[in-house]
Amino acid sequence: MSDKLWIFDTTLRDGEQVPGCQLNTREKIIVAKALEDLGVDIIEAGFPISSPGDFNSVVEISKAVTNPIICALSRAVEKDIEVAAESLKYAKKGRIHTGIGVSPYHIQYKLRSTPDEIIRRGVAAVKFARRFVGDVEFYAEDAGRAEPDFLAKIIEEVIKAGATVVNIPDTTGYCLPEQYGGYISLLKNRVPNIDQAIIATHCHNDLGMATANTIAGVQQGARQVEVTINGIGERAGNTSMEEVVMAIKCHKSIPVDISIDTPKIYGTSRLVSKLMNMPVQPNKAIVGRNAFAHSSGIHQDGVLKHRENYEIIDPKDVGVAESTIVLTARSGRAALKHHLDALGVELEGDALREVYEEFLLLADKKRDIGRKDLMGLVGKFVTDSSFIELEKVSYSSNGTVSADVTLKVGEETHSAHAEGNGPVDAVLKAIEKSVEPQVDLEEFLIQAITHGSDDVAKVHMKVIKNDKPYFGFASNSDIVLASAQAFVDALNKIPVKEYATV
């Protein structure tokens, strides 16, 4: 029987330390409930002594969730521990997470102390925390640069004092996987009472090693991993929950069981990204926009023939509807036919060959090949009666924000009026009224690409239709117009068979 691997999520504590990503209590509760639904075992809800807001968030999260252990962080200071204990009074299962720096850097330069005094303080903190809760985790901060003999000694002593979990953080992301795994192996082999506690990993990504180090720790016997959604966290971030979970799912040789409901990973990722206003980089493993996108003709042909030729994870296993075949100058004939079939255009033989040759010439000139481009290429074979063109956009604010749009859909003209919370909201609602695409707007990002009073904004938009994602892009000095153009761009990528006009 495999060991249980405890998933300790610190998105709401370590992850929220990212500048500009702070959440209020209501938003934290939303994330905490999503984490509970995802199946995480422990939620580190905050650092209660740091602020009244953090204290209140731990209290309210403790009330709001039932299944996960709720963990509160503290330093090895009695007042910290008392406040942490008070914040956990409504937790069904509470844990105090206390600790101290253990590397020569921290002992000498940060704490201005001695190794013996550090052990004394660590032991005292654990004993004091055990007065309030039966579950106490000790973190050996900067263990990734600690002296091995000292690390083994302090871990042995805090377990004697009552620590149920011992956390071995690579706080600065310094370690290579062999080094970090070596620390876990050292503790397993040299700490006589190590069987009385769970060893936890907590790795940072300063050298891009967080996931690799975490997996190395698990392979050497760690049975708790401290992670964040999307790998968010201070500096270069923390270990990414989705990467660790799916790496272990892919490699059956790692003998652990995980409680995560993996098809909910993608939705949780998007929720955290949206609430924290922190976009996920397109090439991010597992949850990035391009994680299951293929643009090379060789790859596209392989995936279309058999998904596992180029994908080790089924997109559905993490909540992504399907792989994306992206049309570029590197795309092959199989990819072009795949897109044409989706548009309801069936071409074979010489006709397909002719369109493919024209497609390559166009793809060399354009970065993004959309539905309008494809329908233009096959114009002699078929007509498109549902392509949308944005003809006119106007908006005003006289107490109520409203917008009017005029669209050309095929050969027909459609106009609509709508009100909204702001000009962008009103314009998008008016467009929806005109064509009724019945889509969900999941992602909306604005990026300034020039500087000054005449900034040009680039808008990236993602809409969902029948559980499938479609992306729209546009740039304009008018943010409202750019948003409308991006929305229409996304709508035009929806296949004809899934799209209906009024």
Task: Look at 281 and 501; give whichever has higher pLDDT.
Answer: 281
Q: Is the dihedral of CA 485, 491, 495, 496 positive or negative?
A: negative
Tokens, residue 44: 């580190």
Domain final residue, candidates 377, 412, 440: 377
Together in a domain, 333 and 394: no
DSSP state, residue 314? -
Residue 165 resides in a domain: yes
Residue 285 resides in a domain: no
Residue 382 resides in a domain: no
pLDDT of residue 400: 87
- Residue 500 pLDDT level (bands cut at 50, 70, 90): very low
What CATH number corresponds to the domain at position 197?
A: 3.20.20.70
pLDDT of residue 376: 81
Domain final residue, candidates 342, 377, 412: 377
Nearest alpha-carbon partner for 474 in 412, 364, 360, 393? 393
Q: Is the pLDDT of residue 194 over 50?
A: yes
- Please compute the mean of the pLDDT values over residues 128-144 and round it to a whole number: 98
Question: Rounded to an integer, what distance in angstroms lies between the CA atom of residue 432 and that of residue 410?
Answer: 16
Q: Is the pLDDT of residue 438 over 80?
A: no
Domain final residue, candidates 343, 377, 411: 377
Together in a domain, 266 and 351: no
- Please compute the mean of the pLDDT values over residues 207-224 and round it to a whole number: 98
350 a known binding residue? no
- Residue 502 pLDDT level (bands cut at 50, 70, 90): very low
What CATH number corresponds to the domain at position 445?
A: 3.30.160.270
Together in a domain, 88 and 118: yes
Least confident of 12-21, 403-412, 449-458: 449-458
DSSP state, residue 109? I
Residue 288 resides in a domain: no
Q: Is the pLDDT of residue 451 over 80?
A: no
Residue 373 resides in a domain: yes
Q: Is the pLDDT of residue 263 over 90?
A: yes
Buried b (16+ CB within 10 A) or exposed e, 414-436: bebebebeebbbbbbbbbbbbbe
- Please compute the mean of the pLDDT values over residues 327-336 and round it to a whole number: 89
Q: Is the pLDDT of residue 374 over 90?
A: no
Together in a domain, 271 and 147: yes
Residue 115 resides in a domain: yes
Range of the domain at 444: 388-498
Together in a domain, 178 and 217: yes
pLDDT of residue 134: 98
* pTM for this entry: 0.81
Together in a domain, 202 and 306: no
- Please compute the mean of the pLDDT values over residues 143-171 and round it to a whole number: 98
Question: Rounded to an integer, what distance in angstroms lies between the CA atom of residue 152 and that of residue 190?
Answer: 7
Amino acid at 86: E
Per the prediction, the chain carries an average pLDDT of 91
Task: Look at 336 and 84; give whichever has higher pLDDT.
Answer: 84
Nearest alpha-carbon partner for 271 in 53, 33, 56, 469? 33
Give the three-state DSSP class for 405: strand
Residue 489 resides in a domain: yes
Together in a domain, 261 and 408: no
Residue 334: strand pairing partners: none
pLDDT of residue 450: 59
Q: Is the pLDDT of residue 372 over 80?
A: no
Amino acid at 119: I
Together in a domain, 441 and 302: no
Together in a domain, 101 and 127: yes
Together in a domain, 216 and 339: no
Together in a domain, 193 and 232: yes
Together in a domain, 407 and 331: no
Q: Determine which helix (DSSP H) or strand (DSSP E) holds 166, and give its type and residue range.
A: strand 165-170
Question: How many distinct structural domains can be found in the chain?
Answer: 3
Q: Is the pLDDT of residue 327 over 90?
A: no
9 a known binding residue? no
Residue 283 resides in a domain: no
Question: Rounded to an integer, what distance in angstroms lies between the CA atom of residue 228 and that of residue 238?
Answer: 6
- Residue 501 pLDDT level (bands cut at 50, 70, 90): very low
Tell me how far the alpha carbon of residue 266 is from its chain's centroid.
Answer: 7
DSSP state, residue 477? S
189 a known binding residue? no
Task: Look at 287 and 19; give whichever has higher pLDDT.
Answer: 287
Q: Is the pLDDT of residue 416 over 50?
A: yes
